Every structure is written in structure tokens, then in C-alpha cells.
Amino acid sequence: MPVIRILPHAELCPQGDTIEAPTGTSICEALLENGIAIEHACEMSAACTTCHVVVKEGFNSLGEIDEIEEDLLDKAWGLTPVSRLSCQALVADTDLTIEIPKYTINHARENH
């Protein structure tokens, strides 16, 4: 089973973490199922950018970014060439290292 390494994030994962995720699971689902409360204001429907992650290792294993995700990512805080919406990025057979950005464009944190 692929491993996702999460780099330290002051609020969500202060020490960093390593989790396993079944192939075909979205990064967002994997984080939530392992107690990492990443924001996902649109309930993973690809309608916002609150679940934005930066994929430091394994980016090319995630598959193509569709036009909707690309358009949304243009609005994400801290956008990089290896940014993805975690609700749309499906885990393949490759281990990943991700960083959850410090900020989102969300004005109020959802209680998920």
C-alpha cells in the first residue's frame, strides 16, 4: 500500500506524519481517514481550493489535472507547479510526500 508522508504543519500535523492509503483513494480522503483534518469546504466536489496540497515527491504518479482543477488552483494560496487539490488527486502505486500550505483563501475554518 502506498505511503503518504505529510510534512509538518503548525496546526494540522505539528510533527509531520506518515500514513498508508489504498490505491485509488484521494489524498484528502486518506488524510481525513487518518485524523488529519485538512480543510475541504466544498465537501470534496472540486468547487474550492481549501484542500490544496503541494506534492513534493510523487507528483507525476497522480494522473492528469482536469480543466476544472487547473482553474481552481489558479486561486489557491501558495500555488506551485506541483500543487494539486487533494480531493481530486488519487493515490497511485507510488509513495507521496506532501505539504499542506499554511494558509487557504477560506475566511472561516469549517468544522469538519
* Residue 43 is assigned to a structural domain of this protein: yes
Range of the domain at 71: 3-99
Residue 75 lies inside a defined structural domain of this protein = yes
Q: Strands, DSSP E only, in 39-82?
A: 52-57
Residue 56 CB neighbours (<10 A): 14
The answer to whether residue 105 is domain-embedded is no
What confidence tens digit (pLDDT) does each residue in 18-49 have?
Answer: 999 999 999 999 999 999 999 998 999 999 99
What is the number of structural domains in the chain?
Answer: 1
Residue 112 lies in a domain: no
Q: Is residue 104 part of a domain?
A: no
Predicted TM-score of the model (pTM): 0.91
Whole-number pLDDT of residue 105: 64
Q: What is the mean pLDDT of residues 45-57?
A: 95
In the structure, what pLDDT confidence band is assigned to residue 112 with cuts at 50, 70 and 90?
very low
Residues 6+ apart with CB under 8 A from 103: 77, 78
pLDDT tens, position by position, 57-85: 999 999 899 999 999 999 998 999 999 99
Chain centroid offset of residue 67 CA: 17
What's the CATH number where 70 sits?
A: 3.10.20.30
pLDDT at position 7 over 70: yes
